[in-house]
Amino acid sequence: MSMLSVKNLTVFYENAIAINKLSISVNKDEIVGVIGPNSAGKTTLMNTISGLMLDTKLKEDRRGGIRISIFGSVEYLDENITNLWPDKRVRKGIALCRERHPVFGESDVEENLKISGYLSSKEQVKESLSLVYDTFPKLLTMRRRKAGLMSGGEQQMLAIGIALMARPRLLLLDEPLLGLSPNIQAQLVEAIQKIKQQTNMTILITEQFARPLIPIIDRGYVIENGMFAFGGSKDELYDNPDVRKAYFGVDYDEE
In this structure, are residues 85 and 51 in contact, taking their beta carbons and an 8 Å threshold? Answer: yes
Q: Which of 74, 80, 43, 54 is closest to 226 using CA atoms?
A: 43
Average pLDDT over residues 17-43: 96
Q: Which pLDDT band holds residue 250 (cuts at 50, 70, 90)?
A: low
- Please state, rounded to an integer, the average pLDDT across all residues of the chain: 92
pLDDT in tens, 162-178: 999 989 999 999 999 98
Bridge-partner residues for 32, per DSSP?
A: 204, 219
Average pLDDT over residues 9-19: 95
User: What contacts 156, CB < 8 A, 6 or more positions away?
Assistant: 101, 176, 180, 184, 188
Share of the chain above pLDDT 90, in %: 78
Half-sphere exposure of 161 (CA within 13 A, CB side): 31
At 125 the pLDDT is 92
At 118 the pLDDT is 80
Q: Is the pLDDT of residue 190 over 70?
A: yes
CATH topology of domain 2-93+170-247: Rossmann fold (3.40.50)
Average pLDDT over residues 131-145: 95
Q: Where in the chain is the domain with CATH 3.40.50.300?
A: 2-93+170-247
pLDDT in tens, 89-134: 999 999 999 877 788 899 999 999 999 888 788 899 999 999 999 9
Helix ranges restricted to H, 39-168:
42-50, 52-63, 86-92, 109-116, 122-135, 137-141, 152-164
Look at 195 and 200; give whichever has higher pLDDT.
Answer: 195
At 164 the three-state DSSP class reads helix
Cα–Cα distance for residue pair 120/93, rounded to 1 Å: 12
Strands of 79-80's sheet in order across? 16-27, 2-13, 68-76, 79-80
At 93 the pLDDT is 95
User: What contacts 184, CB < 8 A, 6 or more positions away?
Assistant: 152, 153, 156
Share of the chain above pLDDT 70, in %: 97
pTM of the model: 0.94
